[in-house]
Amino acid sequence: MDENQYSVPEEFFEFPRKRCCRRGLQLVLLGLLTVALWAGLLTLLLLWHWDTLKNVKQLEVAAAQNVSRIAKELHRHQSDRTAQKSQAALMSQTVHELQAEQKQLKSQGSELSSTLDRLQEDLSSVKSQNLNEKHTALDSLGRLKEEVAKLWMEIQASKGSACNTCPEQWVNFQQKCYYFGKGPKQWIQARFSCEDLEGRLVSIHSQEEQDFLTKHANKEDSWIGLRDLDIEGEFIWTDGRPVDYSNWQPGEPNNADQGEHCVMMLGSGGWNDAFCRSQLDAWVCEQLAACGSAPPSDPTDDSVDAGSASL
């Protein structure tokens, strides 16, 4: 048998060998590619890690700076708060001291006010006493002068002189002169007006005198010189004489509302106690009529007047 018939061609054995080499080369290349990929990935990871570490360090530095700044601000805030607390405590102490001083000043002011009130009361009492003494002295002087004038009138009348001379606009009746004043006045104003005319508010002591006044008053309500200012219910005339005649309206005096202390003569002639500050449109004054010649001067006039002036 010929050897050539069973011999295998050489190319048949070379093909698988080449194929195996190629496959190994591919595997090597794939491994190298894989290694390269892993190396690149690892490089990226390292770069990311380094960048992250760098950012973290920067954040740590920034955080440390912020913490330091906040700590400083906190320390400054605590210092300011401590100073404020100290200042508040000082202010509170000052307020307490001022309140204590204010209480002390109030107490002293209250004591001074009480002392001043007592002094004013004492002064008012002294003034009132002096005024009462002055008024009493003046009233006594007036009554003394009037008694002297009456004695003089009696002497002149016994000599045949007519004692019926009155100032202009005054009306004569029974050796007295009467002035019927007009214009709204309170009782005290009417009294002063009569004194300015050298007279006084009229005192009524008889029915004849009352009838005369009723006729000339022309039915007007008029102030007269009767009042109970000192003791309630004890009426006295401005001339100091007792109430020996009265002409009260029925039910009067009634001291309505506990404040009627001055007396008015109604248009009908009846008397009524009224409020002293009421305004009446009429008032009646009186004074002694003059005789043919002036009465002798009172030798005590100058000394009494000087004493009254000193009061």
Q: Count CB neighbours of 145 within 10 A.
A: 17
**Tokens matching residue 161:** 């002189």
Residue 248 main-chain phi, psi, to 5 deg: -65, 145
Place of tokens 């007295």: 176
Contact 239, 201 (CB under 8 A): no
Cα gap 212→210, rounded to integer Å: 5
Q: Which fold has domain 162-299?
A: Mannose-Binding Protein A; Chain A (3.10.100)
- The pLDDT mean for the chain works out to 82
Q: Collapse the DSSP code of 295 into the 3-class scheme (helix H, G, I; strand E, B; otherwise coil) and give the result.
A: coil
The pLDDT assigned to 173 comes to 94
- pLDDT tens-digit profile of 14-36? 555 566 677 788 888 888 889 88
What pLDDT was estimated at residue 229? Answer: 79
Q: How far out from the chain centre does Cα 114 lie?
A: 19
Q: Are 145 and 298 in contact (CB under 8 A)?
A: yes
Q: What is the pLDDT of residues 140-170, one digit of tens each?
A: 665 666 666 667 666 766 666 777 889 999 9
Residues in CB range of 199: below 8 A, 6 or more apart? 177, 179, 285, 286, 287
The CA distance from 120 to 269, in Å, is: 44
Per-residue model confidence (pLDDT) at position 136: 60
Distance between CA atoms of residues 191 and 122, nearest Å: 28
Residue 255 Cα to chain centre, angstroms: 35
